[in-house]
Each structure stands twice: as C-alpha cells, then as structure tokens.
Amino acid sequence: MSSAERNNRRVNSLGIRLRPLVFIAALLVIWEIAARHQSAHLLPGPWETLGGIVDLVRHGLLIKYVVASLFRVTWGFLLAAALAIPLGLMIGYYRRAEMAFNPIIQILRPISPLAWIPIAILWFGVGDLAAVFLIFLGSFLPLLLTAISAAQSVPAVYVNAGRNFGLRPTRLLSRIFYPAVLPQLIVGLRITLGIAWLVVVAAEMIAVNSGLGFLIVDARNAGNRYDLVAAGMVIIGVIGLLLDMGMRSIEKVRSLRWGYSED
C-alpha cells in the first residue's frame, strides 16, 4: 500500500470519528439559538444546563441521584434476566410449554409497566422496592420473548449434528444450544437495558423520592428550576449512552463474534 493510500485511509478514519462530535456541536448550536429566540424563557440553553449540572455536583446531589437510579436498574434488570432467560429458553425448547404459556404472555405483554405503579405502591410503598418491581416488570417480558425466539431459532441441524456425535443432553446444551442462542440474547439484553433505564426514570417521578426521575419532578415543582430539569435530561441521556456502549462491548467477545456480521 502506497503512502498516499495510507494517508487517505487515515483521513477517512478521522472523518468518521469526528462525525458524531460535529453532529453534537451542531445540535448544541441549534439548542442555543432556540433558547435565545424563545418568547418565554422556559427552555434553558446549553450553558444554563451546564450550570445546573455544576450546581448538582456542588451540592453532592449528582452522584447521589445517579447511584440511586443505577442501583434500582441493576437489581430490577438482573432479577428479570435471571428468571426470564432460563424460563424463555425452556419455553422455546419445549413446544408444549410454549402452547401452555403463550396465552398468558400475550395478555400481559401489552400492559405498560407504568400501569402497575398504583399496585407497586400499594404492595411495596414509596421506595426502592416499588421502583425495582416496576423495572423487573418492564424487563421481564422483553427478555422472556427474546429467549423464546432465540431458542426457536436454533437450526435443527445443529442439534442433530450434536446427537450424531453422541453428545449427552447436558453436553448438547452447553456445547450446541447455549452458544447458538447467546448472540440473540445479547441483543435482547442490550435493548431491554434501555427499556429498564426508561422505566426507572418514569418510576422515580412517582414511586420514590430520589434518583434522576425524582430530580426532574422536584426541580419543576420547587421554583421552576428548568436548568435542573434540562440537566437531569442530559445526564439521563449520557448514562443511557454509556450503558448501551457497555452492552455493545460484550458483542466484541471472541466467543460471540461469530453471531454478528462483519461491517
């Protein structure tokens, strides 16, 4: 490869990496222009929002609220994954189990997790348990359906090949079945984690008195601190991006890479 071609590749690679930064900068400029030209000063600009974040850091509230939200998401999401994935794989593997469980799954699936807020508060009161319960409900069915689909998508030729080689049922599951479903499960986990992060923010607006969702409602009610409202929204978005990047990094594990196409 000539030096000119190498330089062109470096320029193209640098351009691809800079595109997100340029797009974010453009959004910030549009945001600032919109904030300055509004008739009523309700939308804080980027600098006011940054000032709100600094204010949260100064009062020690940023870490407190972020940790509270992540704590609830972690427990609700992990409990849902621990129950939904094994159950979904079993339902997808056994046809009769699917016929038995599918009606109740389809009845519960359209019900929004937020519709359970009154029941969650009635059962667990206002606190962490109510929020964790809502996150669990919001994560359980998506993971269950993903696991069912992953189990049903395993080609029969894989299983038959394992049987032809004399693999026992336990070895068949560990060497054939589980590696085949893992790529699809990882995608389901990534999508469901985003759902869990959405649910925790909504739940914290009603069912608890801490966290980023509570921050937004409290800032609105206590003196119309719209800079803190915007700051909470920005923090929620940044953390959501970091969580998604963390889940995407799992896809790069060598044992799972076979399940994804190369760009």
pTM over 0.85: no
Dihedral, 217, 113, 86, 101 alpha carbons, nearest 10? 180
Rounded Cα distance, 161 and 158, in Å: 5
What's the total number of domains in the chain? 2
Pair 216, 255 in one domain: yes
Kindly state whether residues 71 and 30 are assigned to the same domain: no
CATH number of the domain where residue 61 is located: 1.10.3720.10
Name the residue range of residue 91's domain. 45-259
230 and 119 belong to one structural domain: yes
pLDDT at 206: 78
Q: Are residues 67 and 78 in the same domain?
A: yes
DSSP state of 59: T
Q: What pLDDT does residue 139 have? A: 93
| Residue 28 and residue 83 in one domain | no
pLDDT of residue 259: 53
| Statement to judge: residues 128 and 179 lie in one domain | yes
Please indicate, yes or no, whether residues 118 and 76 belong to a single structural domain of this protein. yes
Q: Are residues 37 and 52 in the same domain?
A: no
Under 8 Å between Cβ of 172 and 163: yes
Tell whether 31 and 54 lie within a shared domain: no
What pLDDT shows up at residue 82? 94
Q: What is the pLDDT of residue 16?
A: 67
pLDDT in single tens digits along all 263 residues of the chain: 555 555 556 655 656 677 777 878 888 788 778 777 766 667 787 888 888 888 888 888 889 999 999 999 999 999 999 999 989 988 887 878 878 888 888 888 888 888 888 888 888 887 888 889 999 999 999 999 999 888 888 777 777 777 777 777 677 776 777 778 888 888 889 899 989 998 888 888 877 778 888 888 888 777 677 888 888 888 998 998 898 888 888 776 665 555 555 54
Give the pLDDT score at 141: 92
φ, ψ dihedrals at 211, nearest 5°:
100, 175
Based on the domain organization, do 77 and 37 belong to the same domain? no
132 and 28 both lie in a single domain: no
Which pLDDT does position 130 carry in this prediction? 87
Judged by phi (left if over 0) then psi (alpha if -120 to 50, else beta), residue 138 lies in: alpha
